[in-house]
Every structure is written in C-alpha cells, then in structure tokens.
Chains A and B, each alone.
Chain A
C-alpha cells in the first residue's frame, strides 16, 4: 500500500532508551530528561498506532521518565536522600550496558562448534561401561544359578507326565523371542511363564543350546548380581542373512 515504515523493535524499555540515547548521541551521565521523555512517549504512540502490544515494562519506564522529569522541574526540591533523580534510570542503563558489553566479549571468544572443534567419539558411554564391568559366566555358575532358582521357587503345580509338549527347538525360539523384545534380561526371567519341571529343564537345555550356537551372550555385572542374558545380534544376523 502507500507507506512502508520501518519500525525498529526493541526488546525492552531499556533497549529502547539506550537506542534513543545513541540516536541523539547523548552522554548517559547527562541525559536531557525532557527531550528523552518526549521521544520515548512518541515511540510508544507509534507502537500503539501499529497495534503492537506494549509490554508493561515500557509503560513503567514511561512513568519513571515522567516522574523524573517532574522532579527535576521543581526547583530545589529537597528529596530525603537528596539524590540526582536521573540516577533512577542511569543506574539500570549502566548495568544494562555493562552486560551488553559482557555479551560481546562472550560472543568474541572462540566458540566450540563455531570457531574451534573437538574430536567426536563414536563409542557410546553405556557400551563402554558394559565392556568394562561385565564378566563372562561359565557353565557351572549358570547351573548353580539354575539350582538356586529351582530351590527358591519350586513349580507349584504337581508333576504330571504326558507326552513331550515342548521341544528344545520351541523353547529356544521362545527365548530368542523374549530377547528380541527385551534386549537384555535376567537369567530367571526366561522361566517366568513356565509351569512344569520339564518345561524348566527344556528351557534350560534350550538356553545351553543357544549359548553353544553363539546366539546368546551370558554375563554377570558383578560377582553378586544376577546373571544376565542378551542376544548376540551380529551372529544372529549372519545366520539369517
């Protein structure tokens, strides 16, 4: 349409005030309060005309400016502390400028991933820990763990004998399935859903078989902790592919 007006957007009242001081090439320690107040209010009017919502602090600053201006108009008005009323804005302004300068210094420092760079490591931290802290478990430890588990929770359902429902093959497939879902499980978890001693045994045999085939990794984080199982992924992929 008709006009194109470039309106600078200020981040806050201090930002605007500083801009006005710079624009008029004023000294921050010697601000002509009347002129600055007028310009400040003019700018607020402009923002209103453009329907820019004014943040509250713009208005607070406006009232502060007017207040200072009125104070300075009164001749020899003795304040309690007898301070220069201008300090009310020069103080915050000076601090604002101080941090603006500090921000520039910060920005000028050589910055990581902008000016300077580091080597990026490819090892994931948790992988690191695994390799460090886990020991291999031998077959006797595994059998002991199995015995211990059997003692702790003997199958509650009385033994019944029937034709073998479970083949080792089935059981190993189940174990692999569990491991596919949970990348790592505690040894006794593979027995959770089993009901009979034969199921227990077949599952255990299947586990041994899988270890033998190299499809499962068995390890123990510390001597005291539970034995854990995980899939030996790479081997599995090779066999299938």
Chain B
C-alpha cells in the first residue's frame, strides 16, 4: 500500500490508543482529519482492526457501538483486576433479565417489562438507569403518557456489541424442563470460572474466544 495510507493508519492508531471511548470513522474525519476522505479513514480502520487481530497480542481493536476501540482480549481479567484493585462488574440475574427484555423489545413500556417478568420492575429500572445502561426514550401516546425505555450506547460498550442488530437472535423454545441449569443465569462466577468460560463459550464475533491463534 502507498505511503499516505500507511501514515494515515498510524495517525488513526494513535487516536484509538489515546481515546477512552470507541471512535467512529466520521468522528475522525470531522474532528481530526477533514482532508482525508471518509472512505480512506474507514479502510485504514478496517486494516488496523484486522492487523491487530493477527498480531496475537493480549489486546486488540474491537468494533464497539459503531466505533473502534482498543480492548484487552478476555482471559486476563484475573490479573488486571488485581492491579486495578477492583472487583469485576456484576449484574444480578433480575437485572440481566430486565436488560435482555429491554434490549430486544425496545422501545418498551415498564408495564410490558413487568408483564414479561411477572414482577415489579421499578427498582431494577432505576438501578439500570443509574448505571447508564437504560434510558428513557420518550413517552407513549397513551393515557397517562407512560415512559418508554431503551438501552444506551453504554450498554453496547459494556456488552461488546457493534450495535443492537448484532444481538444474537432470540431463540425459540422447543422444549424446556429437562435441564434446569440452562434456564438460570449462573451469576456467582468466580474469576477462575470466568476464565474458563471464555473458552467454553466461544463466541466467534469477538476475537477473545479465539484462543487458537493465541497459543500458536
């Protein structure tokens, strides 16, 4: 490739490195590199994304919420949490279920969430909004003008999603009753399990699950 693309890539690499938030191609274009075409910036981002993937380092560039961001691969949380002196972020099963309902059904009314889960959702909604994972999208034109809820960009960032359309499809349930463990979220994951889990649930969307390239 020509020199200009190479230097463009280096600039963008530096931007990604220095930024805390995922950066989008048009942000780079508008704020830093107005003279470069958007398509060149996009090409550079894509190439960087692929290059880091192949490097086999412990961190990669991931596509998050329509932008790009440097992130560690999964499997190092044990060590990282120790040096950060923090504990892993946790969500209760109730919170996860509520979040799943909102993510798939948004825009959604609180009443609808409560119908689906069969319990009051007020407390959980509040705490999800405090965590900035859920937001009020507006009001529905119904008696009482009830609030409509949806997920935030932060939600995408937390769950490593490119966008809402990259949520896995809701599965049809053919038969339940055989295996209880599959229905209840195993919330108390200690870190050792958390690590194992990275390999036992290989999600091809994110490179973290792809351990083979790490080991070779």
Contact = CB atoms under 8 A, between A and B. Distances in A.
Interface of A: 11-15, 18, 21-22, 25-29, 55, 57, 61, 92, 94-121
B99 A111 contact: no
Interface string B78-106: 00100010101111011011011101100
Contact of A107 (B18, B115, B185): B185
Contacts, number: 162
B120 A55 contact: yes
Given A116-B71, A118-B20, A57 B119 contact: yes
Interface in B160-216: 160-161, 168, 170-173, 175-178, 180, 182-187, 194, 197-198, 201, 203, 206, 208-209
A99 B117 contact: yes
A99 B178 contact: no
A240 B90 CA distance: 47
Given A102-B101, A116-B62, 17 more contacts: A12-B118, A94-B173, A98-B170, A98-B172, A99-B100, A101-B173, A102-B104, A102-B171, A103-B93, A105-B100, A112-B158, A115-B88, A115-B208, A117-B71, A118-B72, A120-B20, A121-B19
Given A97-B183, A103-B97, A111-B160, A15 B118 contact: yes
B178 A110 contact: no
Given A18-B183, A102-B100, A111-B159, A29 B175 contact: yes
A75 to B, nearest CB: 28
Interface of B: 17-20, 62, 69-77, 80, 84, 86, 88-91, 93-94, 96-97, 99-101, 103-104, 115-120, 157-161, 168, 170-173, 175-178, 180, 182-187, 194, 197-198, 201, 203, 206, 208-209
Contacts of A29: 175
B104 A109 contact: no
Which of B80, B119, B197 has the most A CB atoms < 10 Å from its CB? B119
A104 B103 CA distance: 13
A25 B100 contact: no
Contact of B96 (A12, A92, A107, A115): A107
Given A14-B118, A113-B88, A99 B104 contact: yes
Please provide the 5 A-B residue pairs with the shortest distance between their CB atoms, ordered closest to farther.
Answer: A12-B118, A12-B119, A14-B118, A121-B20, A114-B88
Contacts of B160: 109-112, 116
Contact of B177 (A15, A26, A100, A114): A26
A162 B168 CA distance: 83
Contacts of B180: 22
B76 to A, nearest CB: 8
